[in-house]
Amino acid sequence: MQNNSERGTRISTPIVFMVLLILITNFCVALFSVYERPLSPAFDLLYFIAFAWVLGWWLKEDSQKYKEKWIYELGILIYAVWMIVIPIYLFKTRGLWAFVTIFAFIGFYIGTFIIGLVASIFIKLLIAP
């Protein structure tokens, strides 16, 4: 009997970190918007650095799983053109299943924002006089 890692359905550590990063970030964004406060530029910078780091971590681990080699500096690719490189990589390694991954990420991103918005409204209602 095959276990999850042999079938390729194991959730990787970078994905768990990506989920936590996006969930916490979307919660903070929603909380700040509920209180009508602007986000700090430092928050945006830290989010960008953390997102690029986790995305690079995932890409490195995933490319080892699919035995893909990168001929360019991965850090520069993620920094400059990650929105182009990631879909190309997904279609190259997964074929049409890349759509599932892309739509899952978009759905997750929207879902975590909604969760963050509901949670922050709930917090505001509890704290507001």
Quick one: pLDDT at residue 68?
Answer: 79
Quick one: pLDDT at residue 8?
Answer: 53
φ, ψ dihedrals at 63, nearest 5°: -70, -30
Question: CA-to-CA distance for 7 and 2, rounded, in angstroms?
Answer: 7
- What integer is the mean pLDDT of 37-57? 91
For residue 36, is it left (φ>0), alpha (ψ between -120 and 50) or beta? left
* DSSP-derived secondary structure for the chain: ---HHHHT-PPPHHHHHHHHHHHHHHHHHHHHHHTT-PPPHHHHHHHHHHHHHHHHHHHHHHHHHTT----S-HHHHHHHHHHHHHHHHHHHHHGGGHHHHHHHHHHHHHHHHHHHHHHHHHHHHHH--
What tens digit of pLDDT does each residue of 72-111 get?
677 777 777 888 888 988 999 999 999 998 999 999 889 9
